[in-house]
Chains A and B, each alone.
Chain A
């Protein structure tokens, strides 16, 4: 089936099998390998991307269902100012180990920060419920997001 979508800000057209999921479309057809597959049944969250701005499991979304929509992956967020602050915080607070869950963690964290859902440890922990990290035990991820949210809040507050 023919589809057309906005992918990381660019128009992309392709002819895809109806059963192709968004993750395989991104990874195999667009070489966007920063989107990782951890379970392929919507539990671990490692494949999270933004579809029309909302965090979405790309393993459960069909590519054909993204026709006409805007998809952003970690590669498309390289110059995003919020993700830049989050990257710095993850780096300083050791918020990643093997790095496999990291792109989706950053995308989810960005969503929490932009929706003002990163104000406390409790809020962040609940907000990360859909993203599994097997390495860090989450403490440093939570700390990093708290710090990033504070930094971004201070920036937004300054004239």
Chain B
């Protein structure tokens, strides 16, 4: 284990302030809604007020015939159809505008166009749609065993897929167990809520015979592919641009129906069209997430060593499978991460991925794992209580040990390296466990109850080809790409297929190139988010960008370096073996030449090039990590809470993270990602919930109903690091963008349990609202011995 911080001022390990900050702080960032094109008109959608209904008739108000487009008016649009290569998965057709049926409240039915959004909404409000209302499917768990109606009639039921995953001998675990713990856990439905919602601006560029689509997306290249498929246009005629993107977190990593509709409208109209999602549309119709129900049986020995986990998992997947992956990605990730960072011998998960009349689920920071972590980590605490031991000790004893690495879990995850136990011990130090225990003994003057809880995870990142093939992904994001172009003045442009939307990749990828070439990051431009600029890339998701795009930048920089050294040696009249790159120079035995001069020669003075060396310094490289099962970051998180047993209100007093993501490129940015993830996880734990009534009507449609963490109710998040570079990636980096969001529900859940230990109450459902806490306290008091 080595500390790899701060080796150089600009390169890997330096907390270099970000290149992207200046424009945003001056209000000169450019988000989709900021792009001004002459003649642009706004789009507002007619959306279904019903969760489940047949469309009988759409009536357009007189005079608005040219401004309203239903599915029949845009015949070139095909349904979005995700076909993952997963046996038994039932695909669904998701028409960008509803055709015969609507399957969730908010589903788009028609697009209305006017010079301003307000006028477009006026038209949308005047369109009348006649419906035959159908019984909605709202509760996923009850829909497993038969339902009043079918979302997709040909299926015969409402299950995208039912699948059991298992490893080891769960029956042996049951036989040998001294302790059996059974619990139900629920993570309720959430939205992603990047502060910039989705946004699309589309127009035809007649000069280039091109459809240009600006979209607030994390995956411009795959959106181009999706538009090509759904609209039947060659990819060469589509350009997708993701300018500044105001957060994504996974929510912008799938093809949206609105992207298809706006692109189709741009082909019909002779002016640009744009749609800027409003927040109610976001909460009702953008990607939903979580909504897992677990029934867990854990088998353990008398010391709390876990022998096996037997589980049922129901995921409420919403109405459609999103292109290109569909919802089993969520279910499969949750099931396969259920053993967590632990050495557990038996594992079985029976999963149900259920179609309901709600907006479809898709990726959101953590994907699947926050649920798995909540279910497992809460269970470990209950096992510890059942055997009368400290949860942290039991947790540490169950963890995979460093000498077992590389370690294949019972669910087939291959941990590459790291000391999971040390992260738990250091986290206990960082949060000062001893001081909290002392405080608990003293008690609180205000009658509140203080508790502390821990949770750990291992996060699979930067996984390559084999892993994605195994998951049945239709496209394999097992690589990334970079074109590195040294200009004639020695400044450098890196064109990358990923997309940065807050992660600071314009800075960190420049740091990586600097590490290889020695060029000052101030002279390096990172260009991303434009299909016409960069080679194909899969985009920013799955905590993959630094491993994959960092790797591609490294490869491309090394290719450039090879040629630079060859030209440099020729100019210095020495052997290429005797020169090296340093601080923007090629240094030989007796003299040196600047990369700027070499760049000038390569472009403008080809007579000075060595024989057999072509002009230009312009290379394209792809990168796939050596290990395609992924490299695992890991962490232990700890929460301290004060629970008011009279009101159920939880105050988060402290929160700490000790994590290891291998080599850190920019420590300041890594800490920023951890804190941001943790706070989203705190929202998951305490505040955020999309509620539906029995008719499938969304009850949460504004930010006044959808509560997110604000500065006032949060403590400062403490962070500690371990540094275990992985041997399988360039420079030993691991991905880490999602990890922070995985464990807070579990850590806080365990802290609440600890606080309420004397009452015997536990809260096994998120968000842990005052109402749920009070219900748990009342249940515990009612069932306590002597109650009555």
In the complex, are the beta carbons of A136 and B279 less than 8 A apart? no
Q: Given A134-B680, A136-B672, A96–B245 Cβ distance below 8 Å?
A: no
Q: Which of B530-586 contact A (CB under 8 A)?
A: none
How many chain A residues touch B (Cβ–Cβ < 8 Å)?
A: 57
* Cβ-closest chain A residue relative to B36: A31
Question: Which residues of the other chain, A, contact B118 by a CB distance below 8 angstroms?
Answer: 17, 19-20
In the complex, are the beta carbons of A98 and B714 less than 8 A apart? no
Q: 1/0 contact trace for B487-528 toward A, CB 8 Å?
A: 000000000000001111000000000000000000000000
Question: Which residues of the other chain, A, contact B20 by a CB distance below 8 angstroms?
Answer: 99
- Is A32 on the interface with B (CB-CB < 8 A)? yes
In the complex, are the beta carbons of B710 and A132 less than 8 A apart? yes
Q: Given A100-B195, A132-B703, A138–B679 Cβ distance below 8 Å?
A: yes
- Is A147 on the interface with B (CB-CB < 8 A)? no
* Cβ-closest chain A residue relative to B194: A134
Task: Please pick, from A73, A121, A134, the residue contacting B27 in the complex, using a CB distance under 8 A.
Answer: A73
- Is A43 on the interface with B (CB-CB < 8 A)? yes
In the complex, are the beta carbons of B716 and A103 less than 8 A apart? no
- Is B676 on the interface with A (CB-CB < 8 A)? yes
Min CB gap A153→B, angstroms: 21
Most buried by A among B23, B29, B276: B29
Q: Which of A31-76 contact B (CB under 8 A)?
A: 31-41, 43-44, 46, 73-75
Give the interface SS of chain B, mostly helix, strand, loop or mixed: loop
Q: 1/0 contact trace for A91-116 toward B, CB 8 Å?
A: 11010111111110010000000000
Q: Given A44-B703, A121-B716, A125-B712, A92–B27 Cβ distance below 8 Å?
A: no
Question: Which residues of the other chain, A, contact B7 by a CB distance below 8 angstroms?
Answer: none
The complex places the Cα of A20 from the Cα of B712 at a distance, in Å, of 32
Question: Which residues of the other chain, B, contact A31 by a CB distance below 8 angstroms?
Answer: 36
- Is B717 on the interface with A (CB-CB < 8 A)? yes
The complex places the Cα of A14 from the Cα of B672 at a distance, in Å, of 43
The complex places the Cα of A76 from the Cα of B710 at a distance, in Å, of 27
Q: Given A98-B196, A133-B195, A103–B27 Cβ distance below 8 Å?
A: yes
In the complex, are the beta carbons of B717 and A139 less than 8 A apart? yes
Task: Tally A-B pairs: CB < 8 A.
Answer: 172
- Is B278 on the interface with A (CB-CB < 8 A)? yes
In the complex, are the beta carbons of B27 and A132 less than 8 A apart? no
Question: Which residues of the other chain, B, contact A133 by a CB distance below 8 angstroms?
Answer: 195, 711
In the complex, are the beta carbons of A34 and B27 less than 8 A apart? yes
Q: Given A43-B703, A121-B716, A33–B33 Cβ distance below 8 Å?
A: yes
Q: Given A75-B27, A140-B672, A41–B504 Cβ distance below 8 Å?
A: no
Task: Please pick, from A34, A74, A91, A137, the residue contacting B17 in the complex, using a CB distance under 8 A.
Answer: A91
Task: Please pick, from B33, B504, B679, B717, the residue contacting A37 in the complex, using a CB distance under 8 A.
Answer: B33
In the complex, are the beta carbons of A137 and B678 less than 8 A apart? yes
The complex places the Cα of A128 from the Cα of B713 at a distance, in Å, of 10
- Is A135 on the interface with B (CB-CB < 8 A)? yes
The complex places the Cα of A91 from the Cα of B22 at a distance, in Å, of 8
Question: Which residues of the other chain, B, contact A20 by a CB distance below 8 angstroms?
Answer: 118
In the complex, are the beta carbons of A134 and B279 less than 8 A apart? no
In the complex, are the beta carbons of B25 and A141 less than 8 A apart? no
In the complex, are the beta carbons of A134 and B714 less than 8 A apart? no
Q: Given A36-B246, A134-B247, A97–B502 Cβ distance below 8 Å?
A: yes
The complex places the Cα of A27 from the Cα of B680 at a distance, in Å, of 29
The complex places the Cα of A121 from the Cα of B716 at a distance, in Å, of 9
Which residues of chain A have a CB within 8 Å of any CB of chain B? Answer: 17, 19-20, 24, 27-28, 31-41, 43-44, 46, 73-75, 78, 87, 90-92, 94, 96-103, 106, 121, 124-126, 128-142
Chain A to chain B contacts (Cβ below 8 Å), 30 pairs: A20-B118, A27-B34, A33-B36, A43-B703, A75-B28, A78-B26, A91-B18, A94-B668, A94-B669, A97-B247, A98-B196, A98-B247, A99-B21, A99-B244, A124-B711, A126-B711, A129-B710, A131-B711, A132-B195, A133-B195, A133-B711, A135-B672, A135-B676, A136-B676, A136-B679, A137-B714, A137-B717, A138-B675, A139-B675, A142-B716
